[in-house]
Each structure stands twice: as C-alpha cells, then as structure tokens.
Amino acid sequence: MKRIGIDAGGSLTKIAYEENNRLRLKTYSSNRMEEVIQWLKIMAPEASLHVTGGRAEALKNHRSTIFKEFECVLEGTKYLLMEENKLPATEYLLVNIGTGTSFFHQKERLFGTGVGGGLFTGIGAIIAGTSDYHTLVDLASKGDRSKSDLMVSDIYQSSYTPIEASLTAANFGKNQLDTSVSAEDQLAALTQLVGETIVLLASKTAASLGTKEIVMIGGALSGNPLLKQVIASFESMFDYRLTFLEKGSHAGAIGALYYDR
C-alpha cells in the first residue's frame, strides 16, 4: 500500500486503500484510535496517509497530509456514483449522515443538523446502557416503534384519518413509564425520529433547489438497514428519487485516498 485514505470522524474512523488493484474498506470506532495506529504500523509502515475528518490531528505525523473534510466527501461521492453506475442524470442534493448530518449541493455545503448518528448513540446509551453503535442498531432492529411513538392511528381511532394513519403524531409520545415499552422499542422509535427528521429536511431542501435527486451517504447508514428503511419509506410521499451508495459510509475516506492537489 502506497497510500491510505482515512476519515477520522466523531463516531467512526473509516479507512480506504487499494490492495491487488481492489478498493478495500475498514471501519473502527473513533474511541479505538490506538488500534488504528497499530494497524497502520503493522500493515502499512511506509504508506502516505491522506487524512480528513474532525479527529484528523490524532493521526498527524511526517507521513500524513490533512485534507478538507467536505472536499473529500464530495470527491468520494463523485467517485462512488461513477463506480456504482448510479450517477444521476441531473444535479442532486447530497446528504451525509454521520455524527451529525450535512447537506451539499454541487460543491457547496448548504447547512447541517445535529440529528444523526451521534444523537442516536448519545440517547441510545441512556436508553440501553451502551454506546456501541452496532449493538444499538441491532437492538433497534428488534423493536416495535409503535409501542413508543404516538401514531396518527392512535389519535384517529375511526376508519378515517386526514393523513396516513402510519405516520408519527409524536415521537416518543406514548407513556414511557409503561414497562412493556422495551429498550428495543424505544431505539426503534429513536431510529424513526432520526430518519424522518432527515427526510423532511432533505425533501424540502431538494424542492427549493428544483431537483428531484437525493443521494444518501454516511457512516450512520453503515450496517443500519432500519435507518435506510425509514428514509426510503417516505419516497412515495414526496416527489424525489433516492440513491443509497453501497460504500457511501466511506465516501470521505475514499475521497481522501484519491484526492490530489
């Protein structure tokens, strides 16, 4: 390995490199930075490091070059859209769901929100007593969010509802003192809150830009089919087309890997 791309984020550290002419990806929790450093020493002691992300300084040494995070995310997304043959025919809104969530259009970051993977793990730790992201995701996949969320159907108990009965009337709107509401149920509701908030922001932003194309990337989508399912469930309600990139969790690291300046 001559070069390694690293996106050292607030929650996850993503790594991208080429081996035998194939793109390889690795992921570490960002609180395991010493393991990342040991892996680099053993596997690629002479490789140049192209580093980005909020914790890039932790990997700063004589072999590293630090790149701007947003530029790497955009470069990596462009690379993946072409590699996965998913390049939209028109311009698109890019939504990067990491520790927080950022929204990009063309080469500009429009705005961001603190609703993302960091909120999920932070509140998830209060609910379940662990901040391990993948454990929380697994627990959420087993839950029933309707036991925690107040649904439209709970309010309109007749056959008629003015809006879709399965929509959320109030996130966590049911009595949480009810012991039948498990940690799994609450984590499923938390995933719903994150997903539907991002969808609402993304759909309105795309509409204001005059585009129907929305591309979703970010570490919070990694190994999290429930979050993808929540986001995708709104596609038929809004006038947009969603694209999830298979390797989108590593867009920043891939952009750093291939970035030349």
Contact (Cβ atoms closer than 8 angstroms) between residue 115 and residue 157: no
69 is catalytic: yes
Contact (Cβ atoms closer than 8 angstroms) between residue 142 and residue 130: no
d(CA 51, CA 49): 6
d(CA 188, CA 184): 6
CA dihedral sign, ordered 210, 215, 217, 222: positive
**One of 34, 46, 69, 184 is an active-site residue; which one?**
69
| DSSP code per residue over 191-222 | HHHHHHHHHHHHHHHHHHHT--EEEEE-GGGT
CA dihedral sign, ordered 172, 174, 176, 178: negative
DSSP structure class, residue 250: G
Q: Which residues does the annotation mark as catalytic? A: 69
